[in-house]
């Protein structure tokens, strides 16, 4: 058996993680809100936690099962200067940073009532102030909740002026009482995101099926339910592509965060491209095979997944793959990312030039800002 080539990672290479997390505390967010809304934010946070507990049927996960306890308690999980220090400790130059609790959950009309739009803007101001400590390295994901499309368009234009390069959108809009993203009502939003060059991020998330599984799951750590959410992003991928939305907006970028890689070649080879090639299915809104839209406008992040990385690299090529540390979640490579990266890319047999694209160049191309 041939020996896999070793990976030559230069110590000064700029590693870019395209999925990391920060907990924006009440103390960080509330000063960015109008005074009349500050207590409402705190109360809304408590209401959100109570609703989540109810959806999980009362299940309270052990923090050690869902987070790396050392990373979770590291000051870099809360404060921007400490975040930079934690990145330096890991040898990571820049990160795309998500809030632990996304805007679609905290700032929803269900939680915040008629004040939800003002709350969302205040939350985005808190995110912008975090990023402003070092915009080159803290590439924060701004939050959108498209209940009101025109308000979302204005919010995109507003955060673009603050240096936004990406926005997080909920991956399952129908669960929020909204139409799927192929609905023409969103065209103005996709147009402004395309014009500004801002990337849409659909992060792995729970949905109604996931909550139902948590309630049914007999395992003590809810290992059935917590292992499956990535696969549910197949629905989101299919709606973006097969509806013709990416055909209509050819410069719109959509990235899937934490989907897991190994199953993606099967999805495209058998379910998307395969059915068209066989001639049994017709999608009149498409001018290319689904794989070509994915290569042109999409991508996926991963943590430590050598076999899935190998499969996706061979199927899609390097330009759609984005490495991440997933700080501070259980799969995180922090603070040993360089050593684990060498192990992973050696096992996957990926040449140095393409490895550099995946761990550095792709992320900088998509998310780096000149501000």
- pLDDT tens, residue by residue, 225-234: 989 999 999 9
Confidence band, pLDDT 50/70/90 cuts, at residue 10: low
Confidence band, pLDDT 50/70/90 cuts, at residue 12: low
What pLDDT, on a 0 to 100 scale, did the predictor assign at position 260? 95
Quote the percentage of the chain above a pLDDT of 90: 89
Q: Which residue has the tokens 């408590």?
A: 46
The two tokens of residue 56 are: 């999980």
What pLDDT, on a 0 to 100 scale, did the predictor assign at position 370? 54
Q: 20 phi and psi, to 5 degrees?
A: -145, 165
What pLDDT, on a 0 to 100 scale, did the predictor assign at position 62? 79
The predicted-structure confidence for 346-370, as pLDDT tens digits, reads as follows 999 999 999 999 999 999 999 986 5
Average pLDDT, the chain: 94
Q: Which residue has the tokens 């191309």?
A: 365
Question: Per-residue pLDDT for 100 more than 80?
Answer: yes
* Length in residues, the chain: 371
The predicted-structure confidence for 235-260, as pLDDT tens digits, reads as follows 999 999 999 999 999 999 999 999 99
What pLDDT, on a 0 to 100 scale, did the predictor assign at position 4? 38
The predicted-structure confidence for 287-323, as pLDDT tens digits, reads as follows 999 999 999 999 999 999 999 999 999 999 999 999 9
Confidence band, pLDDT 50/70/90 cuts, at residue 13: confident
How far is Cα 228 from Cα 121, in angstroms, rounded to an integer? 32
Confidence band, pLDDT 50/70/90 cuts, at residue 6: very low
What pLDDT, on a 0 to 100 scale, did the predictor assign at position 246? 98
Instruction: Supply the pTM of this predicted model.
Output: 0.95
The predicted-structure confidence for 120-178, as pLDDT tens digits, reads as follows 999 999 999 999 999 999 999 999 999 999 999 999 999 999 999 999 999 999 999 99
What pLDDT, on a 0 to 100 scale, did the predictor assign at position 9? 53
Question: Per-residue pLDDT for 210 more than 50?
Answer: yes
Which domains are delineated in the chain? 15-367 (3.20.20.140)
State the distance between the two ends of the chain, measured CA to CA, in whole angstroms. 50
């Amino acid at each position: 058996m041939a020996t896999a080539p070793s990976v030559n990672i230069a110590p000064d290479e700029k590693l870019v993680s395209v999925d990391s997390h920060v907990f924006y505390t009440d103390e960080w967010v509330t000063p960015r809100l109008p005074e009349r809304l500050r207590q409402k934010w705190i109360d809304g946070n408590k209401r959100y936690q109570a609703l989540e507990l109810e959806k999980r049927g009362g299940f309270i996960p052990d923090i050690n099962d869902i987070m790396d306890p050392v990373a979770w308690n590291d000051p870099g999980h809360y404060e921007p200067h400490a975040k930079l220090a934690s990145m330096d400790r890991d040898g990571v130059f820049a990160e795309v940073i998500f809030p632990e609790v996304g805007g679609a959950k905290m700032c929803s009309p269900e939680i915040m009532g008629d004040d939800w739009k003002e709350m969302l803007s205040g939350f985005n101001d808190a995110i912008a102030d975090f990023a402003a400590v070092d915009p080159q390295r803290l590439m924060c994901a701004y939050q959108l909740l498209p209940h009101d499309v025109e308000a979302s368009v204005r919010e995109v234009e507003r955060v673009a002026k603050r240096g936004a390069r990406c926005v997080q959108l909920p991956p399952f809009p129908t669960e929020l009482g909204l139409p799927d993203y192929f609905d023409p009502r969103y065209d103005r939003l996709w147009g402004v995101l395309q014009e500004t060059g801002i990337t849409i991020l659909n992060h792995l998330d729970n949905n109604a099926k996931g909550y139902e599984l948590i309630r049914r799951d007999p395992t003590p750590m809810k290992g059935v339910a917590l292992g499956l959410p990535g696969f549910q992003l197949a629905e989101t991928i299919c709606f973006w592509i097969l509806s013709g939305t990416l055909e209509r907006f050819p410069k719109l970028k959509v990235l899937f965060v934490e989907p897991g890689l190994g199953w993606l070649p099967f999805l495209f080879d058998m379910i998307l491209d395969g059915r068209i090639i066989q001639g049994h299915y017709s999608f009149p809104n498409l001018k290319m095979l689904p794989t070509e839209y994915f290569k042109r406008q999409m991508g996926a992040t991963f943590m430590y997944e050598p076999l899935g990385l190998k499969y996706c690299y061979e199927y899609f090529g390097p330009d759609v793959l984005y490495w991440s540390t997933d700080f501070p979640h259980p799969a995180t490579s922090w603070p040993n990312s360089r050593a684990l990266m060498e192990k992973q890319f050696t096992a996957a047999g990926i040449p140095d030039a393409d490895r550099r694209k995946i761990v550095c160049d792709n992320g900088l191309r998509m998310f780096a800002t000149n501000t």
